[in-house]
Amino acid sequence: MDDTSQIKYVATPIIETGESELLLFGYIINDEYQVDIKSGSVIKLYNTIEYSHNGDERFSNYLKLRETMLRLLTYLLAHASSGYVSNQELLVQVWENYNLSSSTTRLTQVVSELKARLSKIGMADDFIKTTRGKGYTLRGAAVTPLYIKII
């Protein structure tokens, strides 16, 4: 799989700036989290150490996402911070455009699992908001796309 295959659905993954092009690298969410498309990870920018009941230390600043879950998150970041994205649009853009079987049940499951995983690194439980009949939006999200220069 080439480096751009995971982001082909984003409206403008490559921006021409005259002498060079910019390729979408990922996103910054609320100046606290970085989504890295190539590695499929979400990184909390400020290191934290949590202690479990038995005293073991564990870092809680890194999360690896499966390909479909990453496509869902990045599509929401690209499109849902300014309004709602419908269930049908997500089914097409995240599953069907990749020759995967889609269903509303599967969408609901993946969104639920994504929310649970994001909350483990400190993201608010209601970051992804579901509104019946409208779709999904991002609550209180300042989303900044990150680009790399292609020479």
Pairwise CA distance, residues 67 & 38, whole Å:
10
Q: Quick one: how far is CA 83 from the chain centroid?
A: 16
Q: How high is the pLDDT of residue 54? A: 53
Q: How high is the pLDDT of residue 82? A: 75
pTM of the model: 0.79
Q: How high is the pLDDT of residue 2? A: 42
Among candidates 14, 23, 32, which has minimal Cα distance to 140? Answer: 32
Kindly list the averaged pLDDT for each block of 10 residues, start to end, along the chain of length 151: 40 54 89 93 77 54 92 93 90 96 95 94 90 88 85 68
Which amino acid does the sequence have at 8?
K
- Please state the domain count of the chain: 1
The secondary structure element, H or E, covering residue 144 is: strand 143-150
Q: How high is the pLDDT of residue 97? A: 95
Q: Are 60 and 122 in contact (CB under 8 A)?
A: yes
Residue 58: domain span: 5-150
Enumerate the H helices of the chain as residue ranges: 67-79, 87-90, 104-120
What φ, ψ does residue 144 adopt, rounded to 5°?
-120, 120
CATH of the domain at 133: 1.10.10.10
